[in-house]
């Protein structure tokens, strides 16, 4: 069985209160989701891994196993949807 891996790609801002990346990190923590943080450079030109994942260079990007969600508002919606799935929770 494939282990669930959740990764949040975000900017290097050191706090969770100044940017959309921090908002996404706060939502994940509130939902009780264990995740790994990958910080990417401020310069969008220096984010090839993000472009490869999403076709654009903006963060935050959430990778939840095979699901890729970008934009903090979409990440929030995804977490709410995940919690509403029968037999699943944002924590599983």
Q: What is the CATH number of the domain that holds 59?
A: 3.40.30.10
Number of domains in the chain: 1
- Across residues 28-50, what is the average pLDDT? 95
Confidence at residue 85, expressed as pLDDT on a 0 to 100 scale: 78
pLDDT tens digits for range 10-27: 999 988 888 999 999 999
Preceding omega of 60 cis (within 30 degrees of 0): yes
What 3-state class would DSSP assign to 3?
coil
**Domain encompassing residue 67:** 13-84
Query: What distance in Å separates the CA atoms of residue 3 and residue 1, rounded to the nearest whole number?
Result: 6
CA distance 79 to 19: 19
**CA dist., res. 3 & res. 19, Å (int):** 30
The mean per-residue pLDDT over the stretch 34-56 comes to: 95
Give pTM, 2 decimals: 0.86
């Amino acid at each position: 069985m494939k282990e669930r891996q959740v990764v949040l790609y975000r900017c290097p801002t050191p706090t969770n209160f100044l940017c959309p990346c921090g908002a996404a990190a706060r939502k994940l923590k509130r939902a009780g989701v264990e995740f790994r943080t990958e910080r990417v450079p401020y310069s969008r030109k220096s984010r090839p891994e993000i472009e490869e994942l999403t076709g654009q260079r903006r963060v935050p990007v959430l990778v939840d196993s095979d699901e890729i969600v970008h934009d903090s508002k979409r990440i929030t919606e995804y977490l709410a949807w995940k919690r509403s799935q029968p037999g699943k929770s944002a924590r599983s």
